[in-house]
């Protein structure tokens, strides 16, 4: 699909590696104004800091954050800032880890219903000590992940911005008039079952 502008939207990408594969999380943020280089730099820095101070707690030590990229989605040639300090940040969990493709799916909810108004955030690793059995997270691990995600939404809100689901398609066709933004109001776990991200297998994303 050709590029479709989303004015005032900044895409944040946390780019990392795990076992030789390039992996990432991404999130759309409505900054409610045309992004500037100063705005993008401040946001990318804050998102790096969130990772270091909070997200690392739920990630295994074989996950290495290399950079955070903030991109103005309002134009195909919009501004882009890459924040990459000299020190790579790693997850803090130790012990055995489950395979690259195993992840926890956090559901991002808005005040609207329907698939277009919901999003997903897949954690970049799952450690064996986060599991209560072969398929399910422990209640403590689930609560910890949700606390980390709530913290992310709070940080973005403190900027005065809106973490958002940006919907480009409706009924299998591009939206007339451009994308629609749905502000994210909460992050939940529908269940404690772990999920799969096959594109994260070693060698697939290298």
* Token reading at 197: 């991200």
User: Whole-model pTM?
Assistant: 0.94
Q: Decide the pairing of beta strands 180-188 and 105-110.
A: antiparallel
Please tell me the predicted confidence (pLDDT) of residue 1: 59
Average pLDDT per consecutive 10 residues, the chain (206 residues; last block may be shorter): 90 95 97 98 98 98 97 97 92 96 97 90 98 98 98 98 91 80 98 93 72
CA-wise closest residue to 102 among 63, 66, 69, 153? 63
Q: Look at residue 87 in the predicted model and tell me its pLDDT.
A: 79
Q: Tokens standing for 3?
A: 């590029």
What pLDDT shows up at residue 205? 61
């Amino acid at each position: 699909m050709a590029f479709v502008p989303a004015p005032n939207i900044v895409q944040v990408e946390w780019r990392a590696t795990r076992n030789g594969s390039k992996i990432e999380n991404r999130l759309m943020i409505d900054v409610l104004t045309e992004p500037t280089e100063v705005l993008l730099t401040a946001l990318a820095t804050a998102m790096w800091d969130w990772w270091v101070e909070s997200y690392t707690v739920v990630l295994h030590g074989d996950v290495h954050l290399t950079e955070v990229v903030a991109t103005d989605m309002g134009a195909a040639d919009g501004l882009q800032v890459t924040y990459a300090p000299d020190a790579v940040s790693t997850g803090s969990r130790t012990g055995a880890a489950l395979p690259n493709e195993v992840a926890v799916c956090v559901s991002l909810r808005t005040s609207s219903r329907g698939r277009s108004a919901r999003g997903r955030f897949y954690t970049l690793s799952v450690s064996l000590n986060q599991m209560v059995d072969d398929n399910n997270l422990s209640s403590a691990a689930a609560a910890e992940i949700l606390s980390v995600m709530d913290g992310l939404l709070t940080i973005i809100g403190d900027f005065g911005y809106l973490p958002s689901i940006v919907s480009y398609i409706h009924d299998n066709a591009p939206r007339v008039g451009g994308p629609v933004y749905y502000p994210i109001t909460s992050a939940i776990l529908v269940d404690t079952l772990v999920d799969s991200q096959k594109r994260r297998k070693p060698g697939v994303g290298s």
